[in-house]
Amino acid sequence: MPRVKHEYLSEAEYLAREAQASEKHEYVDGQVFAMSGASIRHNRIAGNLYLLWRQHSDCRVTIADVKLRTRRAYYYPDVMLSCAGQTDESIESAPCLVAEVLSPTTEAIDRGAKLRAYQQVASLQAYVLVSQDEPLIEVYRRAGELWTYEAISDGRAITLPCTQRPLTLDEVYAGLAFDPPSVREPEAGYQAW
């Protein structure tokens, strides 16, 4: 889990301190959380997404060091795409597309608090979760007032809003290899066929 500093900070105090900080911190309801570093694998996936979105969208793409402002938090998504006008040099407030590369230390937050916070961003059309452990991309898409969910782990094209062409798993995971899936033993009380 990321470390939390239990001192309450106002939004203005957080932004002032963060502008001077040597490490990144996320801000949620007055609490500040130090961010941990990412693996090379994590960076490779985020970098691949960044390049693909830059090549296939006319919108602004940012990676890792730009904050996303939500109603009660500031997060640093791995990759964001925004078609809105730019109003701040270090903060996006109206992205169309956000991606997080799942890590063991952040997966619960990415699937929980961040998912709920991102779904409150009116401009957001899709939230993408990318596994590091297997070729698997999960997409939450806005469908009016509801959100749909799709998991892609095969050769199907991945169509995302605000981009000009679909992506493939091979493109997102370019330069990475995966261990073959292991065969699990049946649990006690179950018979294999």
Domain with 66, as residue range(s), is 38-172
Name beta bridge partners: 143: 146
Number of domains observed in the structure of the chain:
1
Say yes or no to pLDDT of 192 above 90: no
Identify whether 4 is part of a domain.
Answer: no
Select from 105, 108, 116 the least CA-distant residue to 42: 105
Q: For strand 126-130 and strand 97-101, is the pairing parallel, antiparallel, or unpaired?
A: parallel
Any domain includes 108: yes
Q: Is residue 187 part of a domain?
A: no
Q: Is 126 part of a structural domain of the chain?
A: yes
Average pLDDT over residues 99-117: 95
Residue 22 lies in a domain: no
Within a domain: 30: no
Q: Answer whether residue 161 is part of any domain.
A: yes
- pLDDT value at 159 more than 60: yes
- Give the phi and the psi of residue 15 in degrees, each rounded to 5: -60, -40
Report the CATH number at residue 136.
3.90.1570.10
pTM: 0.88
* pLDDT level of residue 62 (50, 70, 90 thresholds): very high
Element holding 170 (H helix, E strand): helix 169-172
